[in-house]
Amino acid sequence: MDDRPIGVFDSGLGGLTAVREIRSILPFENIIYFGDTSRVPYGGRSQEILLKYARQDVHFLRSFDIKALLVACGTVSTTALPTLEKESDLPILGVVEPACRRALAVTRNKRVGLIATAASVRSGAYERTIAAMDGEVTVIARACPLFVPLVENGRYRVGDSVIETVAREYLEPLKAEGIDTLILGCTHYPLLEEVVGQIMGPGVTLVDSGAQAARQLKASLTERDALCGRRQGSITLYASDITGDFGALAPQFLREPAPGVLEVDIDKY
Ligand code: DGL
């Protein structure tokens, strides 16, 4: 039994989709979330800058006595995770491996699509991970750089002509490839589930990478006998820049009321 909190971070709001899943399957855990809102989006940045940001994010969360850390950011998971893991004595989980496992479990025709940020697609991490698990699966990847800014601005609903136009442009070529499974490789994208589902149609199963990572977190805590013994869990939200949008959108990402957001100067870490 371990009552210490779990640390979770992302560039912005997206990682709250992973927190939503943690809350649903591990409701008694305390979660400390950090959204790097002063530097979002991460998706177009270089590997060096992403590693620098990720190290600061980890350093901040480790200033709390956390028992595990979930990198609820596809971009950091695909670029910096191996280095973060090497540098840490704490269990650190990312979203890539759990999402790939799920995609392989659901694909029937072995044609798997991936949508993610430019940095994630450039990294080739999903292709490498899937190839190591099943050499017969073809991965067709597409970077969707406009999705994160649109979601962070609340433009993710069905009927919003801007997001629908952008999504059609990104997704129609993937649909034409005959994929039957689509990995949402960025934790902002589950907010777009309806828009994406409408374009891809019922024959394509969507894989939520943050939710899959949350399930792996549960398995890992269970295996280490590190679940908490309390009967009530909490969420504490930190951001590196407090904007009205973060507070206003957080409940929609979490699908529950959100606590007030606390500001942190991430440059100090
Ligand atoms: N949620 C982040 C991810 O999963 C978004 C990255 C960004 O800020 O561009 O990749």
| Range in 12-16, 125-129, 213-217 with the lowest mean pLDDT | 12-16
- Enter the DSSP assignment of 185: -
Atom 2 of ligand 1, nearest CA residue: 73
Which sequence spans correspond to the domains of the chain?
A: 6-94+211-268, 96-209
Token pair of 80, please? 């910096």
Give me the pLDDT at residue 246, please: 83
Rounded Cα gap, residues 203 and 181, in angstroms:
8
Give me the pLDDT at residue 152, please: 84
d(CA 88, ligand 1 centre) in Å: 22
pLDDT range class, residue 86, cuts 50, 70, 90: very high
Rounded Cα gap, residues 36 and 54, in angstroms:
10
Instruction: Give the amino acid at 58.
Output: V
pLDDT average, residue stretch 85-98? 96
The per-residue pLDDT for range 142-191, each reduced to its tens digit, is 999 999 999 988 899 999 999 999 999 999 999 999 999 999 999 999 99
Atom of ligand 1 at shortest range from CA of 120: 10
The per-residue pLDDT for range 11-55, each reduced to its tens digit, is 999 999 999 999 999 999 999 999 999 999 999 999 999 999 999
Give the C-alpha distances (Å, rounded to integers) separating 68 from 16, 92, 128, 252, 266: 16, 6, 25, 25, 20
Counting ligand 1 atoms within 8 A of each CB, the residue from 37, 114, 187, 245 with the most, and so the one to mutate, is 187
Give me the pLDDT at residue 132, please: 97
Is the predicted pLDDT of residue 261 greater than 80, yes or no? yes
State the architecture of 96-209 in CATH terms: 3-Layer(aba) Sandwich (3.40)
pTM: 0.95
pLDDT range class, residue 64, cuts 50, 70, 90: very high
Determine whether domain 6-94+211-268 maps to CATH 1.10.3720.10. no
Is the predicted pLDDT of residue 238 greater than 80, yes or no? yes
Hey, do 6-94+211-268 and 96-209 end up sharing a CATH topology, with the first three levels equal?
Answer: yes
- Is the Cβ–Cβ distance between 23 and 197 less than 8 Å? no
Atom of ligand 1 at shortest range from CA of 188: 1
Give the C-alpha distances (Å, rounded to integers) separating 183 from 57, 72, 209, 213: 25, 15, 7, 13
Counting ligand 1 atoms within 8 A of each CB, the residue from 40, 42, 49 with the most, and so the one to mutate, is 42
Pocket of ligand 1 (CB under 6 A): 10-12, 14, 40-43, 73-75, 117, 120, 148, 186-188
Rounded Cα gap, residues 16 and 23, in angstroms:
10
Kindly report each contact of residues 215-222 with a partner whose C-beta sits within 8 Å and lies 24 or more positions away, as own/partner: 215/21, 215/25, 215/98, 216/93, 216/97, 216/98, 217/6, 217/22, 217/26, 217/68, 217/70, 217/93, 218/22, 218/25, 218/26, 220/68, 220/91, 220/93, 221/2, 221/6, 221/26, 221/67, 221/68
Atom 8 of ligand 1, nearest CA residue: 41
Is the predicted pLDDT of residue 244 greater than 80, yes or no? no
Token pair of 99, please? 């999402």
Residue (of 105, 33, 38) closest to 73 by Cα position: 33
**Mean pLDDT value across the chain:** 96
d(CA 188, ligand 1 centre) in Å: 6
For the chain, how many helices (H) and strands (E)?
A: 12, 10
pLDDT average, residue stretch 201-209? 97
